[in-house]
Amino acid sequence: PSVKAKTPAPFQKKIFQPLEAGKVPADVVEPLKGIQKAMVKTMTAALMIPHFGYCDEIDLTNLVHLRKQLKDLAKSRGINFSYMPIFIKAASLALNQFPILNAHVDDKVENLIYKGSHNIGIAVDTPNGLLVPNIKNVQLKSCFDIATELSALQERAGRNQLTPTDLKDGTFSLSNIGSIGGTYAKPVILPPTVAIGALGKIQVLPRFGDHDQVVKCHLMQISWSADHRVIDGATMARFSNLWKSYLENPSMMLLDMK
Ligand code: CAO
């Protein structure tokens, strides 16, 4: 079983008419334009980056219970509160200790620019395709601020009203593919950033506790990709461990929040 993941509406366009008996539908040629054309350009540039992959399993059992309380509190203030604001804030707290993962690589690959702001990009499935708007200055924001901005971004994305400001200056990204389904992924870095994480679906599964007893756990897989020209595996693993420890012991986030 999995934690309730509402499957977002299928945005794929209908290309073919309903099948008629005995007739083969004609091929359809569609020029690539708009967001799809931009995706061709960005992904072609991303292909130049040697991607390093790193995956782990996160036990979200404590967080699932805490999120329920936060969701009720946020609802009383008129805001939807998913898991994303906590994943995003935990990433920012971890980036404080690993600023190299919040860096840009310049065009000639001669410099690393450590970015002052944590502008965390969120992959959003929109009616026109994949877009990655970012929440600016997450390092200065509470989880409630992030939830408020994420709801606004999601709403603008659903109406195709994201602005160029929403889409530019991202410094790090998260992609919640688990809200649609799946466990592991192989996310593609958005140049000039150096890292991205793909979140799998939260599932209820058995694991062994400290005394070898079987425990019911809420588990999520994380798949990171990092630019191996400038990030080594040990750095990615240490960052992931810290992010994981914030999510597995959410009270630790309180200790480090400004
Ligand atoms: N596992 C289980 N449940 C999940 C989940 C996960 N990984 N992610 C979200 N959910 C739950 C949420 O908690 C919410 O349930 P509640 O009503 O109990 O809160 C429900 O599913 C719907 O969440 P949501 O999708 O509206 O909100 P979100 O903040 O979790 O995610 C967004 C927002 C924009 C990331 C998401 O809507 C989306 O577009 N995901 C697709 C991203 C994508 O396409 N990535 C691939 C990029 S590469 O092509």
For residues 22 and 142, which has the higher predicted lDDT (pLDDT)? 142
- Residue 225: beta bridge partners? 53, 196
CB 177 near ligand 1, within 6 Å: yes
Would you tell me how many other CB atoms lie within 10 Å of the CB of residue 172? 25
For residue 210, the CA-to-ligand 1 centroid distance in Å is: 31
Q: Look at residue 69 and give its three-state secondary structure.
A: helix
CB 34 near ligand 1, within 6 Å: no
Distance CA(60)–CA(73), nearest Å, equals 20
Mean pLDDT value across residues 232-245: 98
- Cα distances from 185 to residues 60, 62, 219, 242, in angstroms, run 19, 24, 15, 20
Residue 232 backbone zone (phi > 0: left; psi -120 to 50: alpha; other: beta): beta
What pLDDT digit, counting tens, does each position of 161-207 carry?
999 999 999 999 999 999 999 999 999 999 999 999 999 999 999 99
Identify the pLDDT of residue 11. 61
Exactly one of 51, 56, 104, 228 is catalytic; name it: 228
What pLDDT digit, counting tens, does each position of 57-107 carry?
999 999 999 999 999 999 999 999 999 999 999 999 999 999 999 999 999
Which residues, including other chains, have CB under 8 Å from residue 156's CB and lie 6 or more apart?
133, 162, 163, 166
What is the H or E stretch that residue 133 is in?
Answer: none
Closest by CA position to 231, among listed 49, 23, 27: 49
The C-alpha angle with vertex 203 and arms to 80 and 253, in degrees rounded to 5, equals: 55
Confidence of residue 17 (pLDDT cuts 50, 70, 90): confident
- 65 in catalytic set: no
CB 190 near ligand 1, within 6 Å: no
* 256 close to 93: Cβ distance less than 8 angstroms: yes
pLDDT at residue 33 above 60?
Answer: yes
CB 1 near ligand 1, within 6 Å: no
Distance CA(124)–CA(146), nearest Å, equals 15
Domains, the chain, in order of start with CATH, read: 34-253 (3.30.559.10)
Which residues, including other chains, have CB under 8 Å from residue 38's CB and lie 6 or more apart?
none
CB 126 near ligand 1, within 6 Å: no
Share of the chain above pLDDT 90, in %: 87
For residue 200, the CA-to-ligand 1 centroid distance in Å is: 10
pLDDT at residue 8 above 70?
Answer: no
Residue nearest (by alpha carbon) to ligand 1 atom 22: 6
Structure tokens at 252: 């630790």
Amino acid making up residue 109:
V
- 210 in catalytic set: no
Residue nearest (by alpha carbon) to ligand 1 atom 25: 179
Helix and strand element counts for the chain (H, E): 7, 11
pLDDT at residue 4 above 80?
Answer: no
What pLDDT digit, counting tens, does each position of 95-152 carry?
999 999 999 999 999 999 999 999 999 999 998 889 999 999 999 999 999 999 999 9
Confidence of residue 25 (pLDDT cuts 50, 70, 90): confident
Q: What is the mean pLDDT of the chain?
A: 94
CB 178 near ligand 1, within 6 Å: yes
Strand 195-199 versus strand 203-208 pairing type? unpaired
Poorest-confidence range of 5-19, 28-42, 191-205?
Answer: 5-19
For residue 102, the CA-to-ligand 1 centroid distance in Å is: 23
pLDDT at residue 39 above 70?
Answer: yes
Distance CA(132)–CA(190), nearest Å, equals 9
For residue 5, the CA-to-ligand 1 centroid distance in Å is: 7
